[in-house]
Structure 1
Amino acid sequence: MRAADFIDPGTICARTNASRPEPLAGEIIVQVAACGICGSDMHMFRSGTYRDKLIRQTPEGYQVPGHEFAGTIVALGPGVDGWANGQRVVGVTGQGGGMADYVAVPVNPYQLVAIPDGVSFEDAATTEPLADGLQMIRKANILTGENIVVFGVGIIGLGVIQGIRARGLDVGALIAVDVHPARLEAALKAGATHAVNAREGDVFDQIGTITGIEQGYSGTSARIGVVFDCAGYIRHMPGPPPLETALRLIDLAGGRIVCFGGFEDRVTLELSPLIQKAPTILGSNGYAPEELGEALAMMASGKVDRGSLISHRFALDDVAAAFAAQGGADALKVILKMDSAE
């Protein structure tokens, strides 16, 4: 079968002679129709970060990424009940394997869910990142009228914005922060009220102009109740990490910062506002099983338009070009498309 092979940072290629997996007990085999390139895949592609968590090795030694995909069940392992060959599903793997014609998926509610009628394979391949966003929203416990900031409006940050709107939450300003105009434009279309380009000046000052500045015993804030950090730390990006700016922005009391974006290296932070304002900082990794289903239900009902966030589509054979495109300034979500040929 065909499979992507991550060789070293900056180098990935397509192979044509990878062994097709066989299902173990409690597994099914999915014939992949579409697989997304995740932000974590890009961290790995740039620097090798998280490599041990993001690839699945074939018997030939090929290291296959891809953990968010959609396709059709073609084989059932021993002990699998409640699923059938020909069923359309979303699969999520803990350690890659999805950028291939076939992939084994454990049968459990965190990693396998049926696709509703009317949802395309391409849209369904974005289920996992939307579910990630829904968990972040749940953890943030957004209060009525709070101002919200989303750092990094790739597919995860855009999903946070879509999820807030689809859940009908009554928020104040919903501010997207990024360095790419194409992503900021998409954020406004998805429901953000304001877009801030971090390359156009100090982010605190730009947001303070929108929401106002508050000063008190605990310091200075831009009246932000919740910050979603979907960017993390990318080595080549100038300026302080978003987490440091989030601590400046956050309310003088009661603020929450939800961290999802990956860190490509150690960082140095000014943490005085953490002591002064005493915000709650929450990590978020993954989702609850019901959020996978909720994400697909939002697509099926039309509450979210995931197709509008797919900016590029590539054949598996062009995986190197697909990764290059995902790193480009105009990329939102890049999808790899497969067919039945081996």
Structure 2
Amino acid sequence: MTHEIISKVSGNLGHITLNRPKALNALTYDMCAEITRLLVAWETDPQIGAVLIDGAGDRAFCAGGDVILLHDSGKAGDKRAEEFWRIEYALNELIHRYSKPYIALIDGFVMGGGVGLSVHGKYRIAGDDTLFAMPETGIGYFPDVGGTYFLPRLGLDIGQWLGLTGARLKTAEALEIGVANGFIPSNKHKSFIEALGTPSLDGTDTPVLAIMDEYQDAGPMDADLPAALTAFNEKDVASILLALDGMDGEWAAKQAKSIRAKSPLALSVTFEAIKRGLDLNFRDAMTAELDISLNFLKTQDFYEGIRAQLIDKDRNPKWSHDNLSDVTNEQVERLFQPTAQPRQEFLP
């Protein structure tokens, strides 16, 4: 049990609230363990007809994971980072295959670990202030928590755009792209949860959809995705930059500038991981991600990115490579190598 998770049963609804509002509900190991315990218990409990997860406070659903712990664990050479990734990825897989309706209310920041808690579930309900992103390349890392699985399935252009740049999607864009598949205005979330707490949920989608229909509306409609997204369909990151540089308009220039600020190694690994993920099932994608994550602990850029963004906050990382052209295929492939760890057992 942990005070960082609040859980209750209302009628036939199992309700989980991430309870670290001052930390934007960022995930810890204990939070992942408690959510896993609840979901496993509720899946076989005949009283529970659906599960809903949301975040405390009004700023975030969940803005990520405990990145400082990962940094410190890697520096110390202990097992905390591996243990966190194992239980977090196992939770992502549990959500992906969950047999009862799983509803995520994704208002405010939805980043990193928060994406893993929501996008793999059946119902992702955006609010007015949803801000969705996978910003990992900015800390010398890659979009994990199933990012290599769901990003390419949005379309390789969109997936590579989100994964490489860390672009932030507002509510309308999240709905247009499909990371959110429903919209309920934020001021109706409380009453929506109360409506779900009636004793009518039976483990099927029908009663959940009936209640959702009462509260949903079309949502904001101003999400015109730029035609320049086609640049992200190129064969590698260098070619993407070349395509963007050849395009007119502020949007293309902004994306190119964003990419050039990221770790060249992380960009190269991210591009390849998203490309490979299109051909993997969810389990195999998560197994590959565990290998990549553990291998990132051996890189300079992982620690330098976290230092520059979150510890010293000078926003001036010194990456291991000055340019994409300096990154070799061998260096990229090294991060995909199987680790010495058991590959099929995520949970401790």
Normalised-by-shorter TM-score class: under 0.3
TM-score (norm 2): 0.23
Q: Of Structure 1 and Structure 2, which has the larger fraction of its residues in helix?
A: 2
> Relative to total residues, which structure has the larger strand share, 1 or 2?
1
